[in-house]
Structure 1
């Protein structure tokens, strides 16, 4: 079973430079959380980010590095 992944980009604002506005990966929660936690570890408060319908823009490199690796079928 796989869990859906959300694509999240922080909104621009004070203290949010373009580097922090990369596309972060977040496991879709089962219920409404107090905040979202990206795979890179940043906490995203409600109203401070946009959900993206598809991947566009610069990915967060740490989120990508921490992404689970797919399990490939073995031959046989």
Structure 2
């Protein structure tokens, strides 16, 4: 008996922008500055995205977005 595949989680353009900026900066402070948002807001966005994707680390979230072709590596 086969198990159904987990459906792909898609993110909004705003969420993907935050993740892309994070991938270039790698710190919450630099990401917040580049996006014009607070560190708390960036952290909340990334935390919710990690939960939706079922991963624990932001790097794994970035890899997931690249693997599902939502971001370019």
Q: TM-score range by the shorter chain?
A: under 0.3
Where is the strand percentage greater, Structure 1 or Structure 2?
A: 1
When Rg is computed on C-alpha atoms for both structures, the one with the higher figure is 1
Where is the helix percentage greater, Structure 1 or Structure 2?
A: 2
TM-score (norm 2): 0.27
TM-score (norm 1): 0.27
